[in-house]
Structure 1
Amino acid sequence: MSRFARAIRVQNPWVDRLILGATIVLAILWVIPALWIVSLSFRPNFLLMRSTASILPIPFTTENYELILRLSRVPGWFINSAMTALLMTAMVLIVSSLAGYAFARIKFPGRRILFIFVLTGLMVPEQAVFIPLHTMFADLGLHNTYIALATPRVAVPIGVFLMTQFFRAVPREIEEAAELDNASRFTIFWKIMLPLAIPALTTLGLFTFLHAWNDFLWPLVSATDDDSYTVTVGLASIQSNYAQTEGLGMVMASAVLASLPVFILYLIFQRYIVSGVSMGSGR
């Protein structure tokens, strides 16, 4: 903490309370729309046609969820999203950790130029490469497969940057001690560096899974068969004009079902995320 920040704390003891109060207010403002969506999903549609102002689901009904789950393709869409997100997450973690370790620890010709080239990928909108990606996978006959849904997002520049910064912060003395024991480069990476990088890998993996699960545009382009839809594309395909007619509750229930797996994952891995963010901010 800087001297200026410490001086402010000493002169004004209410700073921490004001920050805490502002954080609570912002958290409430963020939670209210989510609670409102959940409430609407448990209300009958004939009441939603009259008003959507109430945040309490009175009267309570599970009809909207039952209607969605009765559709035979919905479980398949969830499986497609899960398989795509897991495959994409696994490949991103493998590529990002290997590339990050190479950029951080291995000296090779053109390393800095190549690292800058990788970071320039952050400036390229993903929509700009949809046409060549679609053409490439169409020529290979891979559309409507998990490979086509997952592989276009494997080379994630932000993932390589995150892992590079993490490995650079690991003291070199750890590697030097392993080298004295005749450990190979891969052994150092696999048995020493990766266990240390679990918080960073967990954070990157969760955000990758979140992006893959919520992705809509590329699955809409790549998956043309109903049975190959992900949950986002599939649920959107059955909504039609429900929001303007009698199915607003079903739309809200679709949103809740689509976001529920990610919410559960965040609760499970919350401590790893906090650890990874705190370690990153401490550098």
Structure 2
Amino acid sequence: MSLGATMQGQSRWFDRVILLVLIGFAVLWLVPVIWIVVMSLKPNDVLIRSTAGFLPIPFTLENYANLLRVSTVPNWLVNSLIVATAMTLLTLVVSSLAGYAFARLDFPGKRIVFVLVLAGLMVPEQAVFIPLHTMFSDWGMHNTHVALTMPRVAVPIGVFLMTQFFKAVPRELEEAAELDNASRLTVFWKIMLPLSLPALTTLGLFTFLHAWNDFLWPLVSATETNMYTVTVGLGSIQGNFAQSEGLGSIMASAVFASVPVVLIYLIFQQYIVRGVAMGSTR
């Protein structure tokens, strides 16, 4: 057997080992998820005796029915959709415009401003809760969708990611458009934005995921029940469900809150993979 054939065989064996290890980690990651879904489909009187088992036997949808009987749950879901969608769209607009400006435009104090943006990555969001709360309280904007959305729009990581992406785009594409008398805004809108679709999709998904799962700021800003997001709302009724309905209802609420995010990921996963691949090769 030649040396080349031996090395090729070792490479295939190594790839198979890596694949098996990754499959093992994936299974370990899925076990708690499967366990939560199964418990949400079991009657609570069964779960009182034992929570073991990965088959929903006996099977019931009563836990989900009890959850939907809470009249405010659909309203909480709508609030989360509004806040997460608005935050995602505004973040993409701000991050793409700021990233393009830092990557392509020259203006006084550019480096200093960019350093300040990067410095924002080191500031914990909890550190600015008191100023934010005071500011929105003085404006009388608590318990509104604006107050739930605006504090998360200007995210430094989004500006940084879009800046790095636009820097990697060849300048020749813009120069060719400028020779055709295209304005800076036209170049950005018709050339740079379409090229950045994978990066925008990835940033948008992570922003939506963060907005959907955000708990602390909505808990601080939304004090009226009708303005709760789904995370705050389900958290507020978990104690009652645990006492009156049982563990199955809590698991049903966890599944209910995570379904929209899973669906969005499944729809846009090809763009996420493409964005990560482009980012790793640049």
TM-score > 0.5, shorter chain as reference: yes
Q: Does 1:59 align with 2:58?
A: yes
Q: SS of the counterpart of 1:144?
A: coil
Q: Does 1:79 align with 2:78?
A: yes
The Cα offsets for residues 171-205 of structure 1, whole Å up to 9 and x where unpaired, read as: 00000000000101000001110011110000000
The Cα offsets for residues 196-254 of structure 1, whole Å up to 9 and x where unpaired, read as: 11100000001100000010000000000000000000111111164466511010000
Q: SS of the counterpart of 1:60?
A: coil
Structure 1 residue 13, shift from structure 2 partner = 3.7
- How far apart in 2 are the matches of 1:10 and 1:83? 54
Contact 1:49/1:245 (CA < 8 Å) preserved in 2? no
The equivalent residue for 1:251 is 250
The one-letter code sitting in structure 2 at the alignment partner of 1:164 is T
The equivalent residue for 1:276 is 275
The equivalent residue for 1:36 is 35
Structure 1 residue 15, shift from structure 2 partner = 1.6
Mean alpha-carbon deviation: is it higher for 258-267 or for 48-57? 48-57
- How far apart in 2 are the matches of 1:53 and 1:270? 33
- How far apart in 2 are the matches of 1:17 and 1:123? 40
The one-letter code sitting in structure 2 at the alignment partner of 1:228 is M
Q: Does 1:149 align with 2:148?
A: yes
The Cα offsets for residues 139-172 of structure 1, whole Å up to 9 and x where unpaired, read as: 0010011100010011111100110011001000
Q: How does 1:206-221 map to 2 (within 5 A)?
A: 206-221=205-220
Q: Which runs of 5+ in 2 are unaligned?
A: 1-6
Q: SS of the counterpart of 1:190?
A: helix
The equivalent residue for 1:5 is none
The Cα offsets for residues 51-94 of structure 1, whole Å up to 9 and x where unpaired, read as: 11111110000000000101110110000000000110011000
Aligned length: 277
The Cα offsets for residues 9-57 of structure 1, whole Å up to 9 and x where unpaired, read as: 7864422111111110010001111010000000000111111111111
Q: SS of the counterpart of 2:275?
A: helix
Q: CA RMSD in A?
A: 1.5
The one-letter code sitting in structure 2 at the alignment partner of 1:33 is P
Q: SS of the counterpart of 1:20?
A: helix
- How far apart in 2 are the matches of 1:13 and 1:67? 52
The equivalent residue for 1:99 is 98
Alpha carbons of 1:227 and 1:142: their partners in 2 closer, same or farther (altered >3 Å)? same
- How far apart in 2 are the matches of 1:88 and 1:110? 28
The equivalent residue for 2:236 is 237
Contact 1:49/1:246 (CA < 8 Å) preserved in 2? no
Q: How does 1:109-120 map to 2 (within 5 A)?
A: 109-120=108-119
Alpha carbons of 1:28 and 1:19: their partners in 2 closer, same or farther (altered >3 Å)? same
Q: Does 1:266 align with 2:253?
A: no
- How far apart in 1 are the matches of 2:186 and 2:77? 38
- How far apart in 2 are the matches of 1:235 and 1:92? 26
Q: Does 1:137 align with 2:158?
A: no
* Percentage of pairs with the same residue: 70
Mean alpha-carbon deviation: is it higher for 111-120 or for 210-219? 111-120
- How far apart in 1 are the matches of 2:50 and 2:112? 59
The one-letter code sitting in structure 1 at the alignment partner of 2:178 is E
- How far apart in 2 are the matches of 1:91 and 1:160? 12
- How far apart in 2 are the matches of 1:191 and 1:267? 27
The one-letter code sitting in structure 2 at the alignment partner of 1:171 is P
Q: How does 1:158-197 map to 2 (within 5 A)?
A: 158-197=157-196
Structure 1 residue 112, shift from structure 2 partner = 1.5
Q: SS of the counterpart of 1:107?
A: coil
